[in-house]
């Protein structure tokens, strides 16, 4: 193991280290299999995952921010679930609501990070500022939603520039659009009970066709669903954070998800 990595993880909680080494072993095993099958994109995802695993330890050691053990473990499991299980093992396509679950957790985690940044500043005696609990919770919520929106920008860019289909398409049976208004008015035409759609395309100078059930939505439903569940996760943590600031001794459970500045 690299010496720098050893220095970062040295002194970490035993439970966190156990989860880290187990997940690291699984990622390396998957990477070896992908190398054998020459799936170089998946090999890159494995390298990316191993790199992302170091982030919690980097924050703890270099930035002097204490991440609670439950939060560190959740972050490690989240990275593994998104990259290895979601992308390489295709849990996104095989397990219903896998993507929804991860986006909800992401909203919760980003809410915790945004909340903690403001809470750390709020408790710093050198800054001489005192923000109300509701304002701190609101900033955490806004931070989480901003990260969610930026991620959707990233997915959209991947789809438009690299044809990755990160914003997954959906089959719908009802279409409402002004594009089909023959009078050119800004009045949507609603078509219900769409039985099938036939797509014609040119491949190697030969016209081909594909017929699908219903109508193919091009990602807007997936995007709005992701933002909605991110909103739910952010709101849940904002409520937890609000009551935590109001009475830190009473709501100690919330402290398991809130980073603090190391004294």
Range of the domain at 108: 3-168+220-261
H-helix or E-strand containing 202? strand 196-203
Running along the chain, 263 residues long, what does each successive block of 10 average in pLDDT? Answer: 65 83 94 91 90 86 81 91 89 88 93 87 72 89 94 87 80 88 88 89 88 85 93 93 81 77 70
Statement to judge: residues 23 and 90 lie in one domain: yes
Statement to judge: residues 243 and 128 lie in one domain: yes
Statement to judge: residues 18 and 50 lie in one domain: yes
Statement to judge: residues 44 and 152 lie in one domain: yes
Statement to judge: residues 54 and 141 lie in one domain: yes
pTM over 0.85: no
d(CA 46, CA 42): 6
d(CA 196, CA 212): 5
What pLDDT, on the 0 to 100 scale, is given for residue 56? 86
What pLDDT, on the 0 to 100 scale, is given for residue 60? 79
């Amino acid at each position: 193991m690299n010496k720098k990595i050893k220095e970062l993880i040295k002194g970490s909680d035993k439970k966190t280290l156990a989860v880290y080494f187990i997940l690291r072993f699984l990622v390396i095993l998957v990477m070896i299999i992908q190398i054998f099958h020459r799936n170089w994109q998946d090999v890159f995802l494995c390298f990316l995952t191993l790199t992302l695993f170091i982030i919690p330890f980097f924050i703890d050691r270099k930035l002097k921010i204490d991440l609670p053990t439950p939060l560190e473990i959740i972050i490690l499991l989240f990275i593994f679930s998104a990259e290895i299980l979601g992308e390489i093992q295709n849990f996104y396509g095989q397990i219903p609501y896998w993507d929804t679950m991860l986006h909800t957790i992401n909203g919760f985690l980003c809410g915790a990070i945004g909340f903690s940044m403001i809470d750390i500043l709020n408790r710093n005696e050198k800054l001489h500022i005192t923000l109300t609990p509701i304002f701190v919770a609101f900033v955490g919520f806004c931070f989480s939603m901003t990260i969610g929106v930026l991620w959707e920008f990233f997915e959209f860019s991947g789809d438009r520039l690299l044809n990755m289909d990160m914003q997954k398409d959906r089959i719908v049976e009802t279409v409402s659009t002004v594009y089909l208004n023959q009078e050119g008015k800004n009045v949507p035409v609603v078509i219900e009970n769409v039985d099938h759609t036939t797509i014609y395309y040119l491949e190697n100078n030969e016209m081909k066709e594909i017929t699908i059930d219903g109508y193919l939505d091009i990602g807007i439903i997936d995007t709005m669903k992701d933002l909605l569940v991110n909103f739910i996760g952010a709101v849940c943590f904002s409520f937890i954070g609000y009551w935590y600031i109001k009475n830190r001794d009473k709501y100690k459970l919330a402290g398991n998800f809130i980073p603090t500045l190391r004294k």
